[in-house]
Structure 1
Amino acid sequence: MVEAEDLQSLKTIALLGGCRGPIWLSSQSLGNELGISPQTASRRLIALERQQFVIRSMKPDGQYVAITREGEQVLRREYADYVRIFNPEQRQYVLAGTVISGLGEGRYYMSLPHYKEHFGKYLGFEPFPGTLNIKLDATSTEVRKHLDHVGWIVVPGFTADERTFGGARLLPCRIRGHKCAIVEPSRTHYPSDIIEVIAACQLRKALNLNDNDTIEVEITHD
């Protein structure tokens, strides 16, 4: 549980531009923004850094502060709570993780006509024959456990050439503006902290992604 004063400080740093990169920030200037003493502001910054919500660096002209991915996730969770309060019909979730190499099965299954046809029908795009594999961080792994009630589209299994192929379910989402979907086969070899994402394009190439790059998946269900 994030302390209220830490959350307030983190939000103030974000409003000053801390989510977009390092910003010049002294204890005096943060204290002025928060209406507290420079000494208290300094303790707040130390607490945020200790929790890995911000990183600080010193330069000749002073201290620079940037919000980390963990800090941004704290703010996103707070935002999602307010969305549920003031717009209860809209549920928004953000999953964060790192890009990893898959087992190579996605390319084969995404090339099968049955899956291509149904995925295109339900998603409005013909998926690229392959998936982007993402290993979720600890927070997002927990969030994923609560997504079973959110807008999944069920695709039935089928039989072809005396072989039975399992069904799957799809969860529409977006990555950096690209329309995508999380695909979850009924038979999967992946643990719960790994998701597979499909899109009309090759996401690795379109977004210039490599293994270990961090990425966020935005899920909005109206």
Structure 2
Amino acid sequence: MDEKYSFALRKLALLGAMDDYIAISSRELGDALEMSQQSASKRILELLDEKYIVRDLGARKQRIKLTTKGIEDLKKEYNEYRRIFEITDHVTIHGTIQSGMGEGGYYICQDQYMKQFKEKLGFLPFEGTLNIQVDSEDIGKLDVIRSIAGVSINGFSNNGRSFGDVVAYKAKIRNIDCAIVVPERSHYADIIEIICQYHLRRTLSLEDGDHVDVKVEL
């Protein structure tokens, strides 16, 4: 994203335009962007053309709100800055152990997945996943993790049923090698699924509600 657009979006977001429409004149926006009213009016039109904002023209003041595209591009920039200033070679996710629905184990033990896990991650997973509900303050770190490539596990079809692509991110829990697996069709925003060659609940004596730290490689 062009820096002139990201600068304008940051200013609008700080004024509250991420959550709802804000009433702002071209002159007020010009003051916020340290430019003339004419230049601010032009910047608004540019942002509209790029679909970064939507606008509602009122009687006295226009009302502006960031679009989903504008918010997502700001998030990308935010994650880049986090990687510069906060993150070195890993990021630590904090969360609590939670029982799953058993679906993870069914998918993980498919032979086509197992072969790829062994080849690409270096271990053959225990037939099941450890579900961790991520602490609310760490939800943003998931975007940082998803912004890196990860290890691609290819989907396949078996007996007329399709199994989607999976992205794996190498990680450690208490110095035990494991990986976060993110299915293409995942419905969870705050749950991560962990695979490991060991039965982590038994190996680490973990129970539902226990707090754990997951160190993810970047």
Same fold judged by TM-score > 0.5? yes
CA distance in 2, matches of 1:166, 1:85: 35
Kindly report which structure 2 residues correspond to 1:108-127, keeping only aligned pairs within 5 A, or say none.
108-127=106-125
Q: Write the letter of the residue equivalent to 1:149.
A: S
Q: Write the letter of the residue equivalent to 1:133.
A: N
Partners of 2:169 and 2:217 within 8 A in 1: no
CA distance in 2, matches of 1:99, 1:177: 17
Map of 1:215 onto structure 2: 212
Instruction: Select 2:137's aligned residue among 128, 139, 142.
Output: 139
CA distance in 2, matches of 1:192, 1:119: 23
Please list the CA deviations of residues 119-142 of structure 1 after superposition, one character each: whole Å capped at 9, or x if unmatched: 111100000000000000012111
Cα distance, 1:154 vs. partner?
1.2
Secondary structure of the equivalent of 2:104?
Answer: helix
Q: Write the letter of the residue equivalent to 2:194.
A: V
Kindly report which structure 2 residues correspond to 1:1-222, keeping only aligned pairs within 5 A, or say none.
84=84, 90-189=88-187, 191-221=188-218
Highest CA radius of gyration, 1 or 2?
2
Q: How many percent of aligned residue pairs carry the same amino acid? A: 35
Q: CA RMSD in A?
A: 2.1
CA distance in 1, matches of 2:94, 2:147: 19
Consecutive unaligned residues in structure 2, runs of 5 or more: 1-81
CA distance in 2, matches of 1:201, 1:130: 10
Q: Write the letter of the residue equivalent to 2:154.
A: P
Cα distance, 1:149 vs. partner?
2.4
Change beyond 3 A, Cα 1:141–1:91: same
TM-score normalized by the length of structure 2: 0.59
Cα distance, 1:150 vs. partner?
2.4
CA distance in 1, matches of 2:123, 2:195: 10
Secondary structure of the equivalent of 2:168?
Answer: strand
**Matched residues, number:** 138
TM-score normalized by the length of structure 1: 0.58
Q: Write the letter of the residue equivalent to 1:177.
A: N
CA distance in 2, matches of 1:220, 1:185: 18
Consecutive unaligned residues in structure 1, runs of 5 or more: 1-80
Please list the CA deviations of residues 23-57 of structure 1 after superposition, one character each: whole Å capped at 9, or x if unmatched: xxxxxxxxxxxxxxxxxxxxxxxxxxxxxxxxxxx
